[in-house]
Amino acid sequence: MRRPIVAANWKLNGSLEMTQTLVSAINSHSANYDSVDVVISPPFPYLIKVAELISTNNVHLGAQSAAEYESGAYTGEVAAVMLAEVGCQYVIVGHSERREYYGESDEVVAAKFLQVQQAGLIPILCVGESLEQREQGVMQETIVRQVNTVVDLAGIAAMQNSVIAYEPIWAIGTGKTASPEQAQEVHALIRAEIAKQSTEIAEQLRILYGGSVKAGNAAELFSQADIDGGLIGGASLDAEQFNAIVSAAS
């Protein structure tokens, strides 16, 4: 039985006051659901504050990105080893916004994945297709390429200590959501692709869905055979919404 994860991605949102209020509400709620791992990924300036506020064993600290380098003259970057030092356990890599707005290629994402694992952290690898790619019939090809670029660099064994998040780009922040059947189809595709190299790793790999997950649709999405939780954007900024999603995952 795969242990579900609900991961909050605050993106470029937050304040010290919001951090205090929101993390406290998540702590008190998540303490009732010890069968679910909860990950909170705030902007970099609030990582240490969130680490100080987390008070339950099943709530973990995550970061929204990491550099593909361990150190060096890379102004503005943050290394995975630094994130480990301040208490992170998870790091999101390859989010579609990083790929689209910052030009992160599949190869850069794979390098980041490797840095995160070498720092002893768990990468949450995001993959997903655009609406154009889906309509052109290259959705499967796109997802498989994104997954295999990482596997080719890091090796199949690296997937034992990782999480994959499927995020259809056309559903992120748009209010549109892939139907449970559409999401399940892609989750099953990802698991089958991993299974080509290791059925054992494929069975234990946790695959999350992200793309306008809300309290109202979470239970139906999470009931699908290959969906093991969610990577939550906008709804993670609302304690009531986010806590309802945690409840659905339990």
- 23 versus 171: the higher-pLDDT residue is 23
The mean pLDDT value for 43-58 works out to: 96
Catalytic residue among 95, 97, 104, 187: 95
d(CA 124, CA 37): 13
* Structural domain boundaries, residue 231: 5-249
240 included as an active-site residue: no
Q: 120: phi > 0 → left, psi -120 to 50 → alpha, else beta; which? A: left
- Residue 131 — very low, low, confident or very high, per pLDDT cuts 50/70/90? confident
> pLDDT digit string (tens) for 159-208?
999 999 999 987 777 777 778 999 999 999 999 999 999 999 999 999 99
Q: What is the DSSP string of 71-138?
A: SSS-TT---HHHHHHTT--EEEE--HHHHHHS---HHHHHHHHHHHHHTT-EEEEEE---HHHHHTT-
- CA–CA gap between residue 207 and residue 159 (Å, rounded): 11
| Annotated active-site residue in 60, 97, 167, 187 | 167
| CATH number reported for the structural domain that contains residue 36 in this entry | 3.20.20.70
**Which positions ≥6 away from 76 have C-beta within 8 Å?**
none
Cα gap 164→2, rounded to integer Å? 13
Domain count, the chain: 1
60 in catalytic set:
no
